[in-house]
Structures are given as C-alpha cells and as structure tokens.
Structure 1
Amino acid sequence: MTIKITINFVLLLVVVGLGSCKKYLDVLPKGSKIPTTLADFEALMRDEYGNHRAPVTQAVLLLNDRWESQGNLNYYPLWKANYYWDESVNRINLNLTDESAYYTAYAAISTFNLILQYAPTATEATEADKNMLIAQAKLARAMHYFILVNYYADTYEASTAASKLAVPLIESAEVDAPHRQVTIQEMYDHIISNVTSAIPDLPVQGATIVHGTKGAAYAFLARVYLQMSDYDKALSYANQALAQNDKLFDYTAYYQQYKTQIEQAGMYPSLPTPRGYDYIENYIMMHGEVIYSKREWYLRVDRASRFETGDAMLASRWKIRTVGADTYYYAITTGRFNEGGITTTEMYLIKAECLARKNDYTGAMDALNAVRVKRIFAADYTALTAASTKEALDHIRRTKENETLFGIVAFGDMRRFNKDPLYATTLTKTENGTTLSLKPGSHMWTMPIPLGAIKNPGNGTIQQNVNQ
C-alpha cells in the first residue's frame, strides 16, 4: 500500500500552530483545483498522514505504557507532568505548545466534512460509489470524535453525560461555520447515529485498510457501546464484527519463526511487525503518533511485568536491555503499526467482558482463551476459568490492557473501570527511589483542551473541561 499520497489538486492546511493567531477551525482544503470528481474526493480518504492518525501521546504517557528517556521528559514539560503524575503542574498552560491530538483530529474531521458536504454532487461516479465514500467518511469522522470525547472530556456515565461538556461538534467544512460544544451524551448520540446510518452503504471489503467496511463499523460500535456500559448492544455488534472477520494472529508461531534472532544474546533484531497493513486481525487501520516505518515504542520494566508468564507476544515484540543507567524493554519489531484502528482481538475481548457482565463465565472465558491460546507458549498455557464477574473481568482486563497498548482503548478502559469502586485502580511506581501514585479520581485522567483552541475558538465558544 502506498504510504505517501500525493494530492496535486488540494493542499490540506493540517495543523494550526498552537501559538498561532489562526483559528483552529481554519483547516479547509485549499489549492489550485477544487475537487469535483469522485476520484478527487476519494484521494482525500487515502491521505493517511492527514486523516488516519491518532496521536494520543499524553494518554499513553499517563498510563506509563511506554518507557521514555529523561531527555525527552525534560524537553517536553507536558510529557514530564503526565509521566510522573505531577498533579501540582498546571497542564493547561503547558498544553499551549505540547499537544497535537486535538488539532490532528479536527484537521481530519474538516476533510471528512468536505467529503460529506460536496461528494454528493461529485462527477464521474455512480450513486452507489458516492454513497459508499460518504459512508466511509461518516465512520472515519466518528472515530476521531470518539478519540476526542474520550481524551478531552470525562468518561461516559449515563447519569451525568447529558450535563457534562465534551468538545465542539463541527459538521461543516466552511471556514467560520458556527459550532457548539456539545455534551458527552450529544457527542455519543452523534457518533452512533452517523455510523449506524452509514452501515448499509459500506462495503464488505474496502479498497484499502483505511477505507471503512461493514466489519469496521460493527467493531467500532461495539467499542462505543462498551464505553457506554451498554453490554447488550456491545455484544451484538462484537458478534456481527466477528461474523465478518474472526481471524487471530498466532504469536507463538511468529516467535518460533524468529526464535534464533530473538534469543541471540546481546542482539536486538529489527523483525517485521505483523501489526501493519496486512495484519490478519485488522478491521480498519489508523496510525498512532507517527505513520512512517519505525521501531515500536519501548516498554517500562514494571509495565512488562503485567504480561502473563509465557506471553509470546511480549517475547516477540520486546527484549530487555540496559543502556547506561536505563533498563527497559527494547522494541525488536519495526514497521507501521495499527495503534489507532480496530482488530479482531479487541472484539473477542469485548465479547468476553459483555458475557462476564451477563454472568456467562464459561462463554466469557471461551472468548478470552481463544485469544490467549494464540499468545501464550504451549508450555505455559492453561485455559482460564472464572467463578465470578470480578474474577472473569480481572482475567480479561490483563489481556486487553496488553493487547491495546499505545491507543485510546487502553486509556478509555482504565477511565471506565475507575468509575466503579470494585474495579478502580491506583497506579503506582518507583522513580529514583520515590514512590509515585495516580488515583482513580485524579483530574489528570482528563486531558486539558489546548489553550490555543480556547483562545481562538472560531465561530463558537469552548469551555475548558479541567481545572489544570
């Protein structure tokens, strides 16, 4: 699949500088030629860097799901505040220069709004082709709104969602179009309405892995409804997604394939990641912080300890290494990673949680073990059982936290469980001999909306969702 798409007819103004005087809404495609044909609009859908990227860096750092060097932490003060769980720091002020999740998402939303607004009159296309592209734009836009509402607003709770603010809802590609900062409930309603209306026009197979399909839409709705704690609907959509694709990648076989290179003492290979465009588990691809081919993020030693004994996925992706005073799990796979998209593993684990919530512990463990048998070495594998909802969910959470590293799902799940005293978790770690902790009720679990957006809200108003 071609990574860098050249679009001669349009130049997308992608990210508004956080210190710039420009309004954050001024992300309208401009250029020497206005898109007119369906092929023109479809090229926008293929723009991976502009439209299929989800840099949720601060969430990953807050979870401590990746190891970061002291140099990076000192250079980026917002990174340091989140990584060290420093509640005394005013992150609103730091977020003037350190954040990109907001602007990346709204730049993509602006492009999808352009497609939705003008593709209905595109030339050189059948009505079916136009409807398919419009449906794919609806799904892609909804995925970005889901990231925004789970990053910059409180987690969904039915009792408060209608009274707490989320983020601006923008449905027009026009500069200075009016907008409104909607409630969390309104944003979820908008997301669900858009995706359900798109499903009839989505294909079973997309032109590429960034093009939405029926399976991707079902899978995304399963994710959304799980975040809303609507287990019946989440289970229904997870099953529909698995009916489209239920394949699981075998990491035990992958390890055996590269065993000699992995186990060679003192060597840190660059193995081809299976988690790229052709990953058999993919429903839809969305890049993380970057899209170029790179080495995967490193893991903290204490984070690696939360994997099961005999986890072939851990052994295949990271290898412990000491460089100077730093010890961490060094990444040994390279390529492009589906950190922001959706996979079959997530659907199996959503299914497992929903069944556990409905007291079907056997069904829940069957779904979980279907994943685990592809991850745990045979010598270490034992099928898990559960006799209570909590026991089942503890098993499921461990696997899911490891499977959803570096994306919005791990962050959203932690926030969701933190609202329930039975499952709330206080994160702890030791840094330079000092014990640090992050409590479930900390204000740090909601990221501040960038100050640049607050000061330059376009044709509307934006209220900050946190105090610092």
Structure 2
Amino acid sequence: MKRYILILIIGTLLGSCNSYLDEVPSKSTNLPLETIEQLDALLGNYSYFYQDKSRNAVLCTDDWEVSADLYNGFNASAYRSMDLVQVATWDVEYTAYDGKETLWSSEYTKIFYANMVLHYLDAVSGSEEKKAELKAEAYLIKAYSYWMLVNNFCLPYDESTKNELGISLKNSVSFEESIARSTLEETYIEIENCLEEALKLENSIIKAGTFRPWRGSSSAAKAFAARYYLSVNNYTKALQYANAALGDYSELFDYNSEMAFYESTVTVNNEQLEVNYPDTYYVTTSEVLSYKEFYYTRLAYHGYAWYVPSQELMDLYDQQSDLRYKYNFVENYSYTRDRTGVSYPGYVAMGTYNIPSGPTTSEMILIKAEALARTGSWQDAMNVVEQLRVKRIDSDMYTELVANTQEEAVKLIIRERRIERPFVFTWYDYRRYNNNEVSYDDVNLSREFYPYNSSAVLSGEPLVTYELRKGDRKWARPIPNTEVESSLGVIKQNTY
C-alpha cells in the first residue's frame, strides 16, 4: 500500500517550537518577543491553527441525516445530544446559549496570534526577507479566519446585505481595541486587504526538500484566493488563482492505488460485526500535516466523532464504481458510538474527528472546472473535472461524465464538489448558490423532526417541518451569547 508523502520531522519541529513558545508573552506576562525565530515558531505551531471547528458546516446541510427513526434507535448515542438536534434544525432560540459553539473563539485566537506577529515584527531582530514572509503568512491566517467567521455568523454577501452586520475586525493585540461588529461590506473589504498582503508570499510549499503545507506559502495563498473568489462568485479571479496554484503544485491522491481498508470488528450483543475503515483513519499527526493534496493544512473537526451521512448524500454516489463511497462510508460505524442501537454508516476521512478542509489540489481542480463552466467554457470544464474523477473512480468501471448544456455541466460539477468533500464544502457552497447570477442551483432546505424545547426533544409529539430557505436570516448562525455578554453588548447578536 502506498502512503502519502511523509517527509516531516515532526518531533524536531515541535521541540524547537515549544522552546520558543514557552516564552511567548500573554496579557499577564512581561516576557518580550525579541527574535524572528520566536515569531516563526509561533506561526509554526500547527496546534494553534489547524482545526476548523464549524459545527454549521457539519450539521446545517442535507449532508447530515436528521431522522426520527435514527433518534429513536440510538438510546445512548451522541446523535441524541440536544445541541446536535438544535443546530441541525437551524434553531436560533437556544443555540446561542448551549456553550458548545467554539468557532468564534477559536478563529479569534488565531487572529490574535497573527496580530501578535504583525505587532512585533518591526521590533525583533532578523532579516527583512524573513520578516516579509512572516508578515504575509500572518495575513493569510487572518484572511482565512475572517472568511470562516463571516460565512458562519453573517448573512451571505451581496448588494442587498452589504450594510448588515459583519464581524469584529481586529488589527492589534490591544485588549482596548473596539470589538464592535463592522458592516458586511467592511468585512469583505478587510478580507481582500488581508488576502492582498498574503499573496505577497514568495516562499515555496516545499522548503529545503520538506513539503510544508501547514505553513503559509505562495501556493497556499493562491489556493485560498481561488476559494475566496469562488465564494463571492468572481469566477474570473477564481479561475486565475486555481490555475496559479495548480501550476505550482498538482499532486493528487489516487484511490485506485493509495487507499486500502483497515479491517476491524465491533462486538454487538455478543456478535462480532465488521467495521472496515479506510486506512487513512489511522494516520499519524505527521501524515495528516503532510497529506500530499494540501496546499494549506486545515481539518474540519466534529467533536462527537460521528459524521452521520444522509441517505440523500449517499444516493449521490455511484456506489459500485466510486471509490470515495467504498472507502469513506463505513458500514456499521454507528455501533462504535452506540452498541445497543441500529446499524448506520459513518463518513470517515482522517481519524474519528477530522476531515481535510484546507485548500487542496482536488479543490483547485473543481474550482477551475466550475469557473470554466459558469463562464461559458463548459465543454472544457468537463475535461477538467475528469482529471479528478480518474483518481476517484474504480479504473475497471470508469466512464466519463457527459453534459449537453452549460446548466448540465454546472450541475454535474457542483454535485462532484459535494461528493468530493461532504461536511466541508456544502454549507459554504449553498450560501453562494443562493446569491449568484442563476436560479437553477438555488437551495432550500427542510427537515421533518420532533418538536423540542431548550432541554428535551418531545418525541411523543407529531413531527414538525423545519426549514432554511433562500433569503432566510438563519443563514447567519447565532454568535455565542457568552461573547455578547462579555462584550457588555458591544458585540451585537444577529436578529431573526
């Protein structure tokens, strides 16, 4: 079995990082940052930056199964947790108070570290070239974090929403700086300003022979730029930067030759049942960080350790030929979460909790294909998407997708995006589909489930219908109330 590229000397890296980070100052210390090596070590500590903790991306689309039958079947399962139920039905009454929303605080922590580097750069010793590199990397971190925040806690951006509330823009390490939310237009201007600085990165993704996607690089900045411009429906720039990133680096993981099963069993009611994971389930930290498709190492994180795929999602795959279905949908996975319930699959990528979410070569191919299709070159777009599919479909059953019109091509490509990376792309894609130049990709979501209150699902009552429709203000998810209260009301909650 072939493995990913493994060229990271993780122990040496983290050992050197920790020796510097032991002396990183906090609000309560007077320890100075004096050298460029300290700032480099701060940005090099992957544990500060690698997780994307959006529960909305996991739960708020039809990738996630919401089912009364599953709820009734899993008496002891995390599937029954109130916060999962409420977020998955787009609640805005209770979720701000559940204490489980960590995306806001985790992304602002990343922004704080980036601002710390920017604050100290002029004061520390070191070469101007290295300072320029760290400055651009810090801005890449900020651009990425602002983009995550605005796409979870704010309305989708267009001319009609530009004066709605955006996010708090932090440009210093001062705790006295205002945390009032900007407008949505100001937020997007700031993201582009940060991205412009990030695109000044000149260093390669491979440094001294080591593949380093956990650090900022020229390729990482280009790849994130492609994602950003696709998210605002600027297909010309999305295509430009996807091509630029692929021109730098274009390695793909081949499911035909680089994927295998890790065979396992689970005991249920004294019976042994197979639970066969993809071998990427048991990856080391160094293998995750150096996964060869990454331009920029980020992992979606779901703390309940079960990505529950909807039947609708699973039906999108050709289950005979698509190796993504064969390996990533693990039969009987539910028994690892609740051994007295019923059998149901789990979506598994890297370990129990994680799915790759940072920009990858596969994503750049899909961005390139979609940008071509939406700007009229849909025949060329179909050729591009096959560059990915040939690495994902069983070579003995491989056939090309066929589109006869531009609309058919776009729909096939956006389906390919969804099945390539469920629980990661879909939430962000639905937001932009509802705010672009066509209506044929609009998304309205609905679920049937029991009613509930703040503390209990009322499973004895008739099912009700929950909806998230185009134009609904619930596309902006509630900010944690702890942030609103601790700001003494300076941070305004979304209105519904």
Q: Distance in 2 between matches of 1:116 and 1:268?
A: 48
* Secondary structure of the corresponding residue to residue 295 of structure 2: strand
Deviation at 1:41, TM superposition (A): 1.1
| Structure 1 residues 270 and 92: CA distance shift in structure 2, 3 A | closer
Q: Distance in 1 between matches of 2:172 and 2:324?
A: 43
Deviation at 1:143, TM superposition (A): 0.4
| Structure 1 residues 180 and 331: CA distance shift in structure 2, 3 A | closer
Q: Distance in 2 between matches of 1:296 and 1:250?
A: 25
Q: Distance in 2 between matches of 1:108 and 1:448?
A: 20
Specify the alignment match of 2:494 in structure 1. 465
| Structure 1 residues 202 and 180: CA distance shift in structure 2, 3 A | farther
- AA of the residue aligned to 2:275: Y
Q: Deviations over 1:367-386 (max 9, x none)?
A: 11111111111343221122
| Structure 1 residues 103 and 137: CA distance shift in structure 2, 3 A | same
- AA of the residue aligned to 1:147: M
Specify the alignment match of 2:85 in structure 1. 80
Identity of aligned residues (%): 24
Deviation at 1:200, TM superposition (A): 2.8
Are the equivalent residues in 2 in contact too, given 1:53–1:287 (CA < 8 A)?
Answer: yes
- AA of the residue aligned to 1:414: Y
Deviation at 1:139, TM superposition (A): 0.3
User: 2:316 matched to 1:306?
Assistant: yes
Specify the alignment match of 1:128 in structure 2. 129
Q: Distance in 2 between matches of 1:431 and 1:253?
A: 42
Q: Distance in 2 between matches of 1:126 and 1:447?
A: 43
Deviation at 1:38, TM superposition (A): 1.2
| Structure 1 residues 305 and 243: CA distance shift in structure 2, 3 A | same
| Structure 1 residues 228 and 119: CA distance shift in structure 2, 3 A | same
Deviation at 1:120, TM superposition (A): 2.6
| 1:37-52 correspondence runs (5 A) | 37-52=35-50
Q: Deviations over 1:332-359 (max 9, x none)?
A: 6554855331101111111111111111
Q: Distance in 2 between matches of 1:410 and 1:145?
A: 19
Specify the alignment match of 2:224 in structure 1. 220
Q: Distance in 1 between matches of 2:52 and 2:302?
A: 8
Q: TM-score, normalised by structure 1?
A: 0.84
Quick one: which of 274, 279, 298 aligns to 2:291?
279
- AA of the residue aligned to 1:371: L
* Secondary structure of the corresponding residue to residue 63 of structure 1: coil
Deviation at 1:286, TM superposition (A): 1.3
| Structure 1 residues 156 and 168: CA distance shift in structure 2, 3 A | same
| Structure 1 residues 242 and 189: CA distance shift in structure 2, 3 A | same
Q: TM-score, normalised by structure 2?
A: 0.80
Gaps of 5+ in 1: 14-26
Q: Distance in 2 between matches of 1:262 and 1:98?
A: 32
Q: Deviations over 1:262-292 (max 9, x none)?
A: 99x942245431882232211010132279x
Q: Does 238-247 or 160-169 show the bigger shift?
A: 160-169
Specify the alignment match of 2:444 in structure 1. 426
| Structure 1 residues 438 and 306: CA distance shift in structure 2, 3 A | farther
Quick one: which of 318, 323, 327 aligns to 1:316?
327
Specify the alignment match of 1:367 in structure 2. 384
Quick one: which of 468, 471, 476 aligns to 1:446?
476
Specify the alignment match of 1:16 in structure 2. none
Q: Distance in 2 between matches of 1:141 and 1:12?
A: 23
Specify the alignment match of 1:267 in structure 2. 274
| 1:15-414 correspondence runs (5 A) | 28=26, 30-31=28-29, 33-66=31-64, 71-75=77-81, 77-83=82-88, 85=89, 87=91, 90-91=93-94, 93-95=96-98, 97-123=99-125, 125-157=126-158, 159-205=159-205, 208-255=212-259, 257-258=260-261, 261=263, 266-273=273-280, 276-289=288-301, 297-309=307-319, 310-321=321-332, 323=335, 324-330=340-346, 334-335=350-351, 337=354, 339-407=356-424, 409-414=425-430
Deviation at 1:106, TM superposition (A): 0.5
Q: Distance in 1 between matches of 2:167 and 2:301?
A: 21
| Structure 1 residues 262 and 358: CA distance shift in structure 2, 3 A | farther
* Secondary structure of the corresponding residue to residue 326 of structure 1: coil
- AA of the residue aligned to 1:285: T
Q: Deviations over 1:103-122 (max 9, x none)?
A: 00001101100001112322
Are the equivalent residues in 2 in contact too, given 1:28–1:175 (CA < 8 A)?
Answer: no
- AA of the residue aligned to 1:369: E
Q: Distance in 1 between matches of 2:302 and 2:95?
A: 24
Q: Deviations over 1:84-116 (max 9, x none)?
A: x165x6035435x12100000001101100001
Gaps of 5+ in 2: 1-7, 67-73, 266-271, 451-461
Q: Distance in 2 between matches of 1:250 and 1:30?
A: 49
Q: Does 353-362 or 412-421 show the bigger shift?
A: 412-421
Are the equivalent residues in 2 in contact too, given 1:212–1:284 (CA < 8 A)?
Answer: yes
Q: Distance in 1 between matches of 2:431 and 2:23?
A: 34
| Structure 1 residues 347 and 296: CA distance shift in structure 2, 3 A | farther
Deviation at 1:167, TM superposition (A): 0.6
Are the equivalent residues in 1 in contact too, given 2:277–2:327 (CA < 8 A)?
Answer: no
Q: Distance in 2 between matches of 1:105 and 1:183?
A: 19
Specify the alignment match of 1:20 in structure 2. none
- AA of the residue aligned to 2:130: D
Q: Deviations over 1:283-305 (max 9, x none)?
A: 010132279xx977453444322
* Secondary structure of the corresponding residue to residue 484 of structure 2: helix
Q: Distance in 2 between matches of 1:280 and 1:334?
A: 13
Are the equivalent residues in 1 in contact too, given 2:298–2:357 (CA < 8 A)?
Answer: yes
Specify the alignment match of 2:18 in structure 1. 7
